[in-house]
Amino acid sequence: MTLPLSLPLTLALTLAFALTFVFALLPAFAGLLALLPRLLALIALLPVLQIAEGIVGQALLATQRILQFAHRLLAGAVALTAACVSGASLNPDACSVVFRNNPTIPFGVGNVTGHPIGGFIQSPVNLAALTTRGLDFSARYSLDTEETFGVNMGRFNYSIGGLWLIEQENFTNVADPTDGTEIGSSIFYPRVRLTSSLTWSPNDIWSVNWSMDWQTAQNSTFIRDNLNNLDTRPADTYNTGNFARHDFTVRWNARDDLSVRMGVVNAFDAEQPRYLGGSLLSNMDPYGTRFFVGLNYRPF
């Protein structure tokens, strides 16, 4: 059985426990008091350390920028010199900013007056070019069935517009600015791309539209480049094949100030050739079939 303790005895035991706990912690408090001056000294040094850290950081950043600038200068000098003399003939644009100490050597282009080594001018030089030729085309046609056939079946509106890419050539050879690479009909550059749109409006309230984005096949590579081994790749991977995306839209003019449209994009789920893997071609449709609904409210 448990005997109840009197109140004075309980207070005495509590006080004894508290004193024992305090006296046990006194050595630890004494150690902390001994460390206090050092802690205060470290706290006083914190602003100085932060300033020093900032100075070191700025110095490192300045050094990094100087090294980057020196690297650009060196790269610029090497590139300009290579562009000057590496081609079948001198490149006048690059040679005009490079100066050599001995104008009598092959491809020597002179020197800065009185300078013992030579130098160059760090300035922009156009080392690339692009030329393109093409033909834009467009046509529109409208047919009112009542006026044409005497039967009111609504109005048909048709439009077509596109581009015929005749030639596109990139000049990116620094050593020979006249060396061009034809990229027409390669990936991203179809020879012909057009958009066709046909709209049938049976009345002023409803209309149905069919749009098609069509483009010719684009070459991944050429058979002539693999004549030594035609088994290098499957025959159907030399080009992408023609691509066509079909979209359908229904429009409902609910009121004078409200119209609703709904439809499907890429209705037949046209996609880029699978042999291209994960490379997404922006001129094709990587998203597949999708549906949409839209409202157009005109309060004014």
In a domain, 191, yes or no: yes
Residues 93 and 175 sit within 8 Å (Cβ to Cβ): no
Residue 117 and residue 47 in one domain: yes
Residue 104 and residue 136 in one domain: no
**pLDDT confidence of residue 124:** 65
**pLDDT confidence of residue 116:** 59
pLDDT confidence tier of residue 75, bands split at 50, 70 and 90: very low
- Measure Cα distances from 216 to 132, 179, 194, 272 in Å: 18, 27, 9, 13
Q: Which one, of 80, 90, 96, 98, lies nearest residue 178 by Cα?
A: 90
- Measure Cα distances from 276 to 190, 215, 234, 280 in Å: 16, 17, 13, 8
- The predicted-structure confidence for 143-164, as pLDDT tens digits, reads as follows 999 999 989 999 999 999 999 9
Residue 217 and residue 283 in one domain: yes
Residues 243 and 238: their CA atoms lie apart, in Å, by 15
Residue 73 and residue 207 in one domain: no
Question: What tokens were used for 159?
Answer: 């439009």
Residues 197 and 158 sit within 8 Å (Cβ to Cβ): yes
- The distance between the two most distant Cα atoms of the chain, rounded to a whole number of Å, is 120
Backbone angles phi, psi at 162, to 5 degrees: -170, -170
User: Half-sphere exposure of 291 toward its Cβ, with a 13 Å CA cutoff?
Assistant: 3
Residue 60 and residue 87 in one domain: yes
- Measure Cα distances from 285 to 193, 219, 244, 273 in Å: 14, 18, 9, 11
Residues 196 and 160 sit within 8 Å (Cβ to Cβ): yes
pLDDT confidence tier of residue 67, bands split at 50, 70 and 90: low
Answer with the residue of higher pLDDT: 192 or 273.
192
- The predicted-structure confidence for 234-293, as pLDDT tens digits, reads as follows 888 888 899 999 999 999 999 989 999 999 999 999 988 888 877 777 888 888 899 999
In a domain, 259, yes or no: yes
Q: Which of 70, 104, 124 is the last residue of a domain?
A: 124
The answer on pLDDT for 6 being more than 70 is no
Query: What domain range includes position 283?
Result: 129-297
Q: Which of 124, 141, 165 is the last residue of a domain?
A: 124
Residue 120 and residue 135 in one domain: no
In a domain, 23, yes or no: no
Q: Which of 99, 124, 149 is the last residue of a domain?
A: 124
Mean pLDDT value of segment 122-149: 86
Residue 113 and residue 221 in one domain: no
